[in-house]
């Protein structure tokens, strides 16, 4: 199943045997490890939120509201973005160290939504023109 549709239908579920439940629960209850060694790569250091210094951060590679809307309109190709988001305070920051202007993400989202709307409208318009011929 396609990742986008599986998330729209409730996400992916993991089923465990009862004997593995205790081990899985103890692993999930552990805190976020600050750094660890990755074989063949080297040391990985978990990013921290620049706002509250929490280690509870997630990488947001997709713009879910826009991607889900595009999927419903028949345009299932996702639009990628490179943002980190703090699960503690909600702060978002770009993947790179370069700091964009405060309004650039809002402006980019607005432009993107307008382009998606224009793309959908042009598809409807071309369908109407083709039907009227």
Query: What tens digit of pLDDT does each residue of 97-128 get?
Result: 545 445 444 555 566 666 677 777 777 777 77
Banded model confidence at residue 51, pLDDT cuts 50, 70, 90: very high
Per-residue pLDDT of 29-40, as tens digits, reads 888 888 888 888
What pLDDT shows up at residue 94?
A: 84
Total number of domains in the chain: 1
pTM: 0.46
> What residues make up the domain containing 18?
3-132
Per cent of the chain over pLDDT 90 is 8
- Mean pLDDT (the chain) is 75
| DSSP letter for each residue of 16-57 | --HHHHHHHHHHHHS---SEEEETTTEEEE----TTT--S-E
DSSP 97: S
């Amino acid at each position: 199943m396609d990742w986008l549709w599986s998330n729209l239908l409730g996400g992916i579920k993991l089923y465990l045997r009862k004997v593995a439940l205790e081990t899985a629960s103890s692993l999930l209850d552990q805190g976020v490890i600050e750094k660890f060694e990755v074989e063949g790569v080297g040391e990985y250091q978990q990013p921290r939120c620049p706002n509250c210094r929490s280690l509870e951060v997630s990488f947001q590679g997709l713009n879910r509201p826009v991607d889900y809307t595009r999927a419903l309109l028949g345009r299932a190709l996702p639009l990628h973005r490179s943002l980190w988001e703090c699960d503690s305070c909600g702060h978002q920051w770009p993947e790179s160290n370069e700091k964009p202007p405060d309004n650039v993400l809002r402006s980019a989202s607005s432009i993107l939504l307008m382009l998606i709307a224009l793309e959908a409208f042009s598809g409807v318009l071309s369908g109407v023109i083709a039907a009227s011929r």
